[in-house]
């Protein structure tokens, strides 16, 4: 069997259906199999990324019906980069969640099925070239997120999950209505053909559909003011799930927003909208983060703020800015992953996960505190860590477009960021140790996972060249709308297509 | 003030949705010339009877052209059942039985449901086996079968579902669907592509892999919905 993009979906699905049977053979298999599946997907990623870098976009046809009649998967340098990044993060999260908490074998089985399907759903969102298929994968992601949020079955978890369920259902409904309206206008569901025919859609219809999409996907991408679910879900879900939200689910939401604005629609002003909404999201989230007493809520708000920066950078829309935005998505997945992983061990036993109890933990949990401090230094963008480069590229791109206000905003907010992260780091190392606090010993898998992420942060920080060629290609692929349409529909009429930026 | 704002917002959303919906010509023939299809709808209508030998075009769309979406929807249902199971998980003692209803139902209901239960199962099976010929299909047939089990659970206090059987049916049906897709990938280089002879239109055995997939979907939906009902009924309010 030749390696092809559909393996990303078919293999985990098959494994998910098999797992209840495997659990009857041996209990441990339920924990091992997801790891093997994700490892295989990693191999698929390596093979396909090499192919894409050498020969360009791979379009895979499903059920033998060529585009635009059937469903297709598009593995371009951009989508491939995101899918590979998600697979790598999924593997690290699997290592971390292996024996994270002692649970019965039945819930463990369900946890790993839901986790694997969450990963599949997010990768499917990124890879698909069909707008309704996009919705189906969004549903897979959403349903598994809701149940994983409530996995501990406590009061707060149930509340967070219910909140998420209500808001998420709104998002689904909006996106479904948008797809319906879009279909009545263009008579097709293939994204490339929608992009070709978008030219003939009346403007008022275009705007209505775009707004419906933006609201629906804005909820998934944590755009202000649609992100009310995020802090609760991040802090109440099991820690590995919180990491998955930050590293995979939000990335898929942002990808959806970007694909809709960059490829499907040709509306002027959508880019400015992204900048404005990104800036508001950034400011509101960072101001909320500095007021938080709970460590996990603080990290959640910081995560929302970072997504604001990503939206600003995509909104600037030049090649350099998009490069910076994709780089920041990568960095955010890795660094926020490390912060969440180490942070949840720090507050494992403290009441309400509050920061004030963490005094002097730097001596008691040296390794975990070190990881957390490294993550904190990297996320605020200090050299020589990974976060520095993405921030630098975004600022340079803003400077090239004479957006001085934006530079001032991003730098100003960085100071707020530094304040609240260093408040925690300072408490870890210079606070007076309190008596009677119980330390949680991290699992071996957890330590390996965090070490891997720390190594990535340092390597990318010192040698950004290991990753920049991939990101450069990804940015080019995202911006070249005509190329995207041409690779899916070789015979399409490209005369009406123009790149707005 | 807050309520006023919400009403205002709803009015704006409602206005724009009404305006855009009223501009769509529902019911008008917008397919155009079927021999030279421009929209996917026209393409499906023109291709299905000839190239797939399937009488029910909707089934052809759901299972063949957009079979990948259906596989996704089946997993959404699977995930919903799994998620419900993980949230409502209760450690059971061995041999412990939680009655599904508190009061025993009347003799009339008990006798009636015993009579009607096999008929419901047969109807459900009929609906999903004939999914490619008549209206209906795997999802509908599966739901009908689950209602049969619901009826039994409500009328008999000690009616139990064997969880191990549900797990087996559910898993095997899912594996069948995914494997059919993978066989297509190996034989014809395209996931979920038809690899069986398509036969003659209106025959029971026609349409290639479509009836196979719909039978698998029927079993899976029936097992999952019955499992969900069983989980929900075994939860007692304190």
Sequence spans of domains, chain A: 272-484
A382: pLDDT confidence band, cut at 50, 70 and 90? Answer: confident
- 8 Å CB contact of A17 and B175: yes
Which among B43, B78, B184 has CB closest to A69? B43
For the stretch A64-87, pLDDT in tens is 888 888 899 999 999 999 999 999
At A433, which helix (H) or strand (E)?
none
Is the pLDDT at A352 greater than 80? The verdict is no
CA dihedral B55, B59, B64, B66 (to 10 degrees): 140
B193: pLDDT confidence band, cut at 50, 70 and 90? Answer: confident
Q: Measure A213 CA to nearest chain B CA, in Å.
A: 13
Which among A10, A64, A151 has CB closest to B178? A10
Averaged confidence pLDDT in chain B: 86
Q: Measure B186 CA to nearest chain A CA, in Å.
A: 6
- 8 Å CB contact of B167 and A71: no
Q: Can you give the pLDDT at residue A403?
A: 87
* Contacts with A101 (C-beta within 8 Å, 6 or more apart), sequence order: A238
Side-chain half-sphere exposure of A116, counting CA atoms within 13 A: 33
For the stretch A419-429, pLDDT in tens is 999 989 988 88
The mean pLDDT value for A203-209 works out to: 89
Cα A133 to its chain centre, rounded Å, is 19
Q: Can you give the pLDDT at residue B237?
A: 54
Cα B165 to its chain centre, rounded Å, is 19
Q: Can you give the pLDDT at residue B120?
A: 96
Q: Measure B193 CA to nearest chain A CA, in Å.
A: 4
* Contacts with A81 (C-beta within 8 Å, 6 or more apart), sequence order: A49, A326, A470, A471, A473, A474
- 8 Å CB contact of A63 and B194: yes
Complex ipTM value? 0.92
Closest chain A residue to B62, measured at CA: A70
- 8 Å CB contact of B171 and A18: yes
Residues of chain B with pLDDT > 70, as a percent, come to 94
Q: Select from B221, B198, B77 the least CA-distant residue to B146.
A: B221
For the stretch B82-95, pLDDT in tens is 998 888 877 666 56
- 8 Å CB contact of B20 and A133: no
Q: Select from A183, A83, A201 the least CA-distant residue to A135.
A: A183
B73's tokens:
């929807």
Q: Can you give the pLDDT at residue B236?
A: 64
Which among B83, B178, B193 has CB closest to A114? B83
- Chain A positions touching B54 (Cβ under 8 A) are none
Q: Can you give the pLDDT at residue A137?
A: 96
Is the pLDDT at B99 greater than 80? The verdict is no
For the stretch A123-143, pLDDT in tens is 999 999 999 999 999 999 999
Q: Can you give the pLDDT at residue A499?
A: 55
A84's tokens:
């590979």
* Contacts with B233 (C-beta within 8 Å, 6 or more apart), sequence order: B100, B101, B153
Is the pLDDT at A437 greater than 90? The verdict is no
Q: Does B134 touch chain A (CB under 8 A)?
A: no
The mean pLDDT value for A21-30 works out to: 87
Q: Measure B194 CA to nearest chain A CA, in Å.
A: 7
Q: Does B84 touch chain A (CB under 8 A)?
A: yes
B20: pLDDT confidence band, cut at 50, 70 and 90? Answer: confident
Q: Select from A144, A42, A38, A146 the least CA-distant residue to A96.
A: A38
Is A204 within 8 Å of B15 (Cβ atoms)?
no
Q: Measure B110 CA to nearest chain A CA, in Å.
A: 34
Is A218 within 8 Å of A226 (Cβ atoms)?
yes
- 8 Å CB contact of B68 and A63: yes
B141's tokens:
């047939």
Q: How far apart are CA A61 and CA A70, in angstroms?
A: 7
Q: Does B189 touch chain A (CB under 8 A)?
A: yes
Which among B76, B87, B174 has CB closest to A150? B87
- 8 Å CB contact of B83 and A20: no
In B, residues 12-51, which contact A (CB 8 Å cutoff)? 16-17, 19-21, 23-24, 30, 38-44
* Contacts with A90 (C-beta within 8 Å, 6 or more apart), sequence order: A38, A41, A119, A244, A248
- Chain B positions touching A150 (Cβ under 8 A) are 87
Q: Enter the DSSP assignment of A432.
A: P
For the stretch B101-139, pLDDT in tens is 677 788 898 999 999 999 999 999 999 999 888 888 889
Per-residue three-class SS string for chain B: CHHHHHHHHHHHHHHHHHHHHHCCCCCCCCCCCCCCCCCHHHHHHHHHHHHHCCCCHHHHHHHHHCHHHHHHHHHHHHHHHHHHHHHCCCCCCCCCCCCCCCCCCCHHHHHHHHHHHHHHHHHHHHHHHCCCCCCCCHHHHHHHHHHHHHHHHHHCCCCCCCHHHHHHHHHHHHHHHHHHHHHHHHHHCCCCCCCCCCCCCCCCCCCCCHHHHHHHHHHHHHHHHHHHHHHHHCCCCC
- Determine which of B191, B193, B196 to mutate to test the interface with A (most A C-beta atoms within 10 Å): B191
A178: pLDDT confidence band, cut at 50, 70 and 90? Answer: very high
- Chain B positions touching A190 (Cβ under 8 A) are 40
pTM: 0.94
Sign, Cα dihedral of A300, A305, A309, A310: positive
Backbone phi and psi for residue B14, each to the nearest 5 degrees, phi listed first: -60, -40
């Amino acid at each position: 069997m030749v390696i092809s993009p559909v393996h990303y979906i078919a293999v985990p699905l098959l494994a998910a259906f098999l797992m209840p049977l495997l659990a009857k053979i041996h209990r441990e298999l339920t924990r091992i199999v997801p790891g093997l599946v994700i490892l295989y997907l990693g191999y698929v990623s390596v093979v396909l990324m090499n192919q894409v870098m050498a020969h360009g976009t791979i379009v895979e046809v499903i059920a033998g019906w060529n585009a635009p009649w059937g469903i297709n998967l598009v593995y371009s340098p951009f989508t491939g980069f995101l899918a590979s990044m998600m697979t790598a993060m999924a593997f690290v999260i699997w290592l971390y969640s292996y024996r994270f908490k002692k649970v019965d074998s039945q819930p463990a089985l369900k946890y790993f099925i839901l986790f694997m399907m969450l990963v599949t759903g997010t990768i499917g969102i990124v890879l698909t070239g069909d707008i309704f298929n996009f919705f189906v994968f969004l549903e897979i992601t959403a349903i598994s997120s809701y149940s994983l949020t409530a996995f501990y079955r406590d009061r707060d978890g149930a509340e967070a999950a219910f909140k998420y369920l209500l808001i998420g259902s709104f998002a689904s409904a909006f996106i479904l209505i948008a797809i319906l309206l879009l279909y009545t206008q263009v008579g097709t569901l293939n994204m490339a053909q929608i992009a070709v025919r978008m030219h003939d859609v009346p403007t008022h219809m275009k705007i209505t559909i775009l707004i419906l999409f933006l609201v629906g996907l804005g909820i998934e991408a944590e755009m202000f003011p649609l992100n009310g679910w995020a802090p609760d879900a991040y802090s109440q879900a099991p820690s590995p799930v919180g990491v998955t939200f930050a590293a995979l689910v939000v990335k898929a939401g942002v990808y959806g927003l970007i694909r809709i604005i960059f490829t499907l629609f040709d509306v002027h002003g959508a880019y400015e909208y992204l900048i404005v909404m990104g800036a508001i999201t950034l400011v509101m989230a960072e101001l909320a983060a500095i007021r938080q007493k709970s460590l996990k809520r603080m990290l959640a708000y910081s995560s929302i703020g970072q997504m604001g920066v990503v939206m600003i950078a995509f909104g600037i829309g030049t090649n350099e800015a998009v490069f910076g935005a994709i780089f920041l998505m990568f960095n955010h997945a890795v660094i926020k992953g490390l912060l969440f992983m180490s942070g949840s061990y720090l507050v494992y036993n403290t009441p309400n996960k509050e920061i004030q109890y963490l005094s002097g933990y730097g001596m008691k949990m040296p390794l975990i505190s070190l990881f957390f401090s490294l993550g904190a230094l990297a996320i605020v963008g200090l050299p020589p860590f990974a976060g520095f480069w993405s921030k630098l590229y975004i600022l340079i791109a803003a400077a090239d477009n004479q957006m001085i206000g934006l530079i001032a905003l991003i730098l100003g907010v960085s100071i707020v960021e530094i304040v609240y992260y260093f408040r925690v780091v300072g408490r870890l190392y210079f606070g007076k140790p309190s008596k009677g606090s119980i330390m949680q010993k991290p699992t071996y898998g957890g330590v390996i996972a965090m070490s891997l992420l720390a190594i990535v942060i340092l390597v990318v920080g010192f040698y950004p060249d290991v990753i920049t060629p991939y990101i450069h290609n990804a940015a080019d692929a995202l911006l070249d709308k005509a190329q995207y349409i041409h690779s899916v529909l070789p015979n399409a009429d490209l005369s009406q297509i123009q790149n707005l930026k | 003030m807050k309520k006023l704002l919400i009403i205002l917002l709803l009015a704006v959303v409602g206005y724009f949705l009404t305006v855009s919906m009223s501009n769509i010509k529902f019911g008008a023939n917008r397919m155009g010339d079927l021999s030279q299809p421009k929209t996917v709808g026209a393409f499906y209508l023109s291709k299905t009877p000839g190239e797939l030998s399937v009488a029910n075009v909707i089934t052809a769309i759901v299972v063949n052209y957009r079979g990948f979406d259906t596989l996704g929807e089946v997993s959404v249902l699977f995930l919903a059942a799994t998620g419900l199971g993980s949230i409502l998980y209760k450690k059971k003692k061995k041999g412990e039985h939680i009655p599904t209803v508190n009061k025993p139902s009347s003799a009339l209901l008990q006798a009636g449901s015993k009579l009607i239960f096999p008929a419901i199962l047969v109807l459900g099976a009929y609906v999903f086996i004939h999914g490619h010929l008549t209206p209906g299909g795997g999802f509908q047939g599966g739901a009908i079968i689950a209602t049969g089990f619901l009826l039994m659970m409500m009328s008999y206090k000690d009616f139990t579902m064997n969880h191990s059987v549900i797990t087996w049916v559910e898993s095997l049906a899912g594996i069948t669907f995914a494997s059919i897709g993978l066989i297509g990938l190996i034989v014809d280089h395209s996931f979920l592509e038809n690899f069986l002879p398509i036969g003659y239109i209106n025959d029971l055995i026609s349409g290639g892999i479509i009836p196979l997939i719909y039978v698998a979907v029927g079993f899976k939906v029936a097992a999952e919905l019955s499992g969900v009902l069983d989980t929900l009924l075994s939860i007692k309010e304190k």
